[in-house]
A and B are shown apart, each in its own frame.
Chain A
């Protein structure tokens, strides 16, 4: 069971970035998936979740209206589109797979770092 994030990098305030989470070793389409982030030296914050078929999505208030979660089950991949980025969005973004058929608890990828700075 593995999830692998990619797409992080340095972006200016107001810019955009798309993160990807590639899944392998499990039936991706059977699991609701999530993104969780961790600012440097800080704790963990749930960001967004998506149902198995992408029919429903959920967002933290801090990112609502700026981030968009999506998935492509044919490619075993989940995405997070980050728009209107702010300095406070700087964090490691983790792809999180639930342990069972519920939403949580989570197994985690290694994360991808997003740095928002001019």
Chain B
């Protein structure tokens, strides 16, 4: 199975600054890569799919890039509501697998 590795595990950033989250796959995920946001006590919410396409209703400050085995989620001008855990997921090869998550916290 494809192993997804996210870095860093925790990222401390001040509101208004930008955050860059990384995700690496052990085999090519092509562009079949999604990013989800999860807040405490809530279900994950789809942010980005096909590596770089924002889901409906997702603000433009969220952007995704990459293909193959290296992917990045960038959040510009962080808002208070953006502090959460972020997961990447590959859906190129079964079983579909997730990274372990990056906890984006307020600095």
**Measuring CB to CB, which residues of chain A are less than 8 angstroms from any residue of chain B?**
43-46, 58, 60, 94, 99, 102-111
Contacts and interface: CB of A to CB of B under 8 A. Distances in A.
A44 B87 contact: yes
B44 A108 contact: yes
Contact of A58 (B43, B94, B98, B100): B94
The 5 tightest CB contacts between A and B, nearest first, are A104-B91, A105-B34, A108-B43, A44-B98, A105-B49
Contact of B55 (A43, A45, A99): A99
A43 B55 CA distance: 21
Contact of A43 (B43, B95, B100): B100
A74 B34 CA distance: 31
Interface of A, secondary structure class, is loop
A43 B91 contact: no
Nearest to B49: A105
B61 interface: no
Contacts of A58: 94-95
Given A43-B87, A44-B89, A99-B55, A107 B98 contact: no
A110 B32 CA distance: 24
B71 to A, nearest CB: 13
A112 to B, nearest CB: 11
Contacts of A102: 91
Given A60-B95, A94-B44, A105-B34, 19 more contacts: A43-B87, A43-B100, A44-B87, A45-B98, A46-B96, A46-B97, A46-B98, A58-B95, A99-B46, A99-B55, A103-B91, A104-B89, A105-B46, A105-B49, A105-B89, A106-B34, A106-B44, A108-B43, A111-B43
